[in-house]
Amino acid sequence: MEQLEFFEIPSPCINVCESNERGYCKGCYRSREERQRWTLMSDPEKREVLRLCGLRKKRSEQQIILDQVRKVEGT
């Protein structure tokens, strides 16, 4: 049974709107399709996209740290 939503789930857009090498927005971490379909998505779909965006952001931040460590170590 789906829980009723009392509040609209806002778009995660922060107006960066530039794609990285994998095709995800550098600001909100959504794919092009996710950005285009946002207003058509159900609340459960939006929550799933937000979950995926969180994972993508975390992965991106980890990669930045790893790149910095490699640079310091000279590898």
Full-model pTM? 0.82
Q: How far is CA 46 from CA 9, 18, 74, 75, in A?
A: 7, 20, 41, 40
Whether residue 53 contacts residue 60, with contact meaning beta carbons closer than 8 Å, is answered with no
Q: What is the pLDDT of residue 75?
A: 64
Within the chain, which residues score under 70 in pLDDT?
1-5, 75
- Cβ burial of 11 (10 Å; 0-12, 13-18, 19+) is middle
